[in-house]
Homo-oligomer: A and B are copies of this chain.
Amino acid sequence: MEILTISKAAIQAGVGVETIRFYERKGLIRQPLKPQNSGYRNYPSDTVKTIRFIRQAQELGFSLREIEELLALKADPATDCADVRERAIEKLEEVERKISQLYKMGSALKSVIASCPSRGGLDGCSIMEALESSSSESER
């Protein structure tokens, strides 16, 4: 297994050096071996994979906190595939809910555009109405 300095690891993973240290501080990647006479990190190439995993999961809409959980599942030999699948399904549902709302918003905007040929009267401007009717709301 190849050993990498932080900057080599950063290049291979496609992130900045600071980002790696940031992930380490956040507990997303563990601090690698540091040789006794140096404080320098020596990364196994596994770490590069982990970082890529993080970026990939971010692309799918997972937050770093959620990714941390995914990584914990990954590290636990008792984890069943269904656990991971469950999280992916939840995320998919989240994504799909957003898409459908954006569709509504898109049609509201289209109707605004259509009903506004070139002269006054924005009475048909109903972006809010379109959204109001579709939202019974989340708590905080």
A20 at the binding interface (Cβ < 8 Å): no
Contacts of A125 in B (CB 8 A): 73-74, 77, 81, 84
Closest chain-B Cβ to A35's Cβ sits at a distance in Å of 28
Q: Is A59 in the interface zone, CB < 8 Å from B?
A: yes
Q: Say yes or no: B74 contacts A119, CB within 8 Å.
A: no
Near B by CB (< 8 A), chain A positions 93-111 give 95-96, 98-99, 101-103, 105-106, 108-110
Name A's B-contacting residues (CB within 8 A).
Answer: 14-16, 49-50, 52-53, 55-57, 59-61, 70, 73-74, 77-82, 84-85, 88-89, 91-92, 95-96, 98-99, 101-103, 105-106, 108-110, 112-113, 116-125, 127-128, 130-132, 134-140
